[in-house]
Each structure stands twice: as structure tokens, then as C-alpha cells.
Amino acid sequence: MTIAIPDPDPDPDPEEPEGKIASRVIKVTPEIAETFLSRASVNRRLDMGQVRSLADTILRGEWKLTHQGIAFDAAGALLDGQHRLRAIIEANTPVEMLVFDGLPREVFPVLDTGKRRSAADTLLSTGAKYLPLLSSTIRHVILFKTMPNDSWIGNRAQVSNDRILSAYNEDKDRYEEAVKIGRELSKHLFASQTVVAVGFFLTTEVAPAADIDEWIAGLKSGANLDPGDARLTLREVPRDTQKWGSRRRMGIRDQASIYIKAWNAWVDPERNGELRLRRLRKGEKMPMPVEVKFER
């Protein structure tokens, strides 16, 4: 059923706009993208990190047709969309896109100036709690699984909001549990809430037969732990190692590696002798969590 909305101030003789804006949906191929880019006049500086992020979205099949597309002015010059067009070329894959023609050139300064939607904003509709921590946890779990031995900061480490939402929907119970544990355990450890949530998610994911309650209890209290217990060693990592301004500051990737090393030494006592909880050295690979599965 269609409901007509009356004009609150009807004008019997509306003026015709000076220029006519038209829009259409077309499949933009890499070749068409090249042609459109050749019509660029004034554009923002190209951010190759953003281009690669959009290209990855296209290659994963996650591109969606939205109101954000390509815009040309009345003279046919490209006003908006250079990053999306470059991404199509980078991915060498055509996508459907909304194309606007005839925009006044005066609109260029206000294009794409709105607040960018964060991953936490995207998760708002799920009803989950602690959204900034939840989105950060999911993002870094994805980074661990896709680029464990590369930097987790900068343009190459961008993860799309759609990808974060999809990951949450696939395993929401475990992500919510990880956030809860991250909030609790970080009070007793050097690591941030995100790091503990990420470490907890990754380790318990491959260790369904491990005694998780014992692991958590030891980290919380530290009581009655043997001197060589990996949980005690993890508790004793200096708390100032991740703070800004510290000469020994560690990022999330370094902190996560320490959490996983301690976990591995705890579930596999043979690793205790080689346990050294320190930041990753140059060229050192991220440790993978030890699996603990039920015996058949």
C-alpha cells in the first residue's frame, strides 16, 4: 500500500531547476572505471589503503549496491568516486554502482564529509553490549587469522564493517563470552581488554577439551600456583609495557602473542622451559594456539 504524503507548502508554479540531475545503475567494469577516471578534474588525494580495502571487499564478494557511487558534474567531470573506481581496477572485477550526472560543481567541498560509520555503529542493531570492545575484538581475531605475521596497524589492516558484522553473526555467543572474559581478566594482567578477549577467543576455539575454568581461575587469583606455572608468569608481565610513552610499549599484536605463548606453555608443559614472555622480535612469527581436543 502506498501512502501519499501531501506537500506542506504546495507551489502551483514550481520553478524548473537550472540543471537536471539524473541517476542510473550500471555495471562498472575495470575498463569503464578507467574511462571515468580519465574525466577527473579536481579530486581528493588518493588513499591506496582505502583502495585496497575496497578491492578486498569486492574480491570477497561483499560489495553491495548503495546510494554511494559515482558523481559527475554538468560538464561531465568526475566529482566523486575515485577510490571506488580505483578499487574496481585493483580487483579487476566489475560491480554494479549508482552513477549520478549533472551535479552542480559547488557540491564538491561537501562530498563525503559526514561522520563515517564505525564497526561499533554497525553492530548496534544486534543488541550486543560493549560494542567498541566487541568490534575491536572481532577485527583483531580476523587480522590474526588473515595476516598474523604482518602489522595490525595502518591501511592494510583495515577490516570492513560488513565483514565484522558477518563474523559476529557466525559466532556471536563465543564473541560475547570473549568480551566478558576480556573485561574480567584484563584487571589482573598487563594486557588490554581487547587483547585478552582476542586471546581467549583464539585459544579456546581450538581447545574444546582444555579446562578453561582452571585457566581463568589461576589468572584471576594467582593463588597456589607453582613458580613455573605459565599463568603466574603471565600475571607478572609488567603492566606498563603497553602504555603510550613507555619505551617498552607493545601493540595489540605483541600483547596477543604473549597471551598465546603463555597459553601454549600451560596446555603443553613441555614448552615451559622455552617460555619467554616478551614482544615479537623482528622476523619472529606469531605463535599459533595449541589444540586440545577430546580423545576419540
| Cell representation of residue 13 | 508554479
Which are the contacts of 199, defined by CB distance < 8 A and separation ≥ 6?
Answer: 191, 256, 259, 260, 263
Does residue 224 contact residue 235 with C-beta atoms inside 8 Å? no
Question: For residue 251, how many other CB atoms are within 10 A of its CB?
Answer: 15
pLDDT digits (tens, 9 = 90+) for 218-236: 999 999 999 889 999 999 9
Cβ contact 175:135 at 8 Å: no
- Per-residue model confidence as pLDDT tens digits over 20-71: 888 899 999 999 999 999 987 655 667 787 888 888 889 988 888 888 889 8
Q: How far is CA 218 from CA 36, 88, 172, in A?
A: 61, 51, 26
Confidence of residue 112 (pLDDT cuts 50, 70, 90): low
What cell was used for 228? Answer: 613455573
Of the candidates 95, 96, 174, 93, the one whose C-alpha atom is nearest the C-alpha of residue 128 is 174
Answer for the pair 33, 99: CB distance below 8 angstroms, yes or no. no
Outline which parts of the chain fall under CATH 3.90.1530.
22-109
Cell of 249: 610499549
Please, what CATH class does the domain formed by 22-109 belong to? alpha beta
Report residue 253 as a C-alpha cell: 599484536
Measured CA to CA, the distance from residue 239 to residue 253 in angstroms comes to 16
* Band (158; pLDDT cuts 50, 70, 90): confident
* Strands 70-73 and 95-103, bridge-based pairing: parallel
Question: Both ends of the chain: CA-CA distance in Å?
Answer: 59
The helix (run of H) or strand (run of E) holding residue 97 is strand 95-103
Sequence-ordered list of residues with C-beta below 8 angstroms from that of 60, at least 6 positions apart, any chain: 163
Residue 278: pLDDT band by 50, 70, 90 thresholds? confident
C-alpha distances out from residue 187 to 80, 86, 89, 139, 237, Å: 47, 45, 47, 22, 13
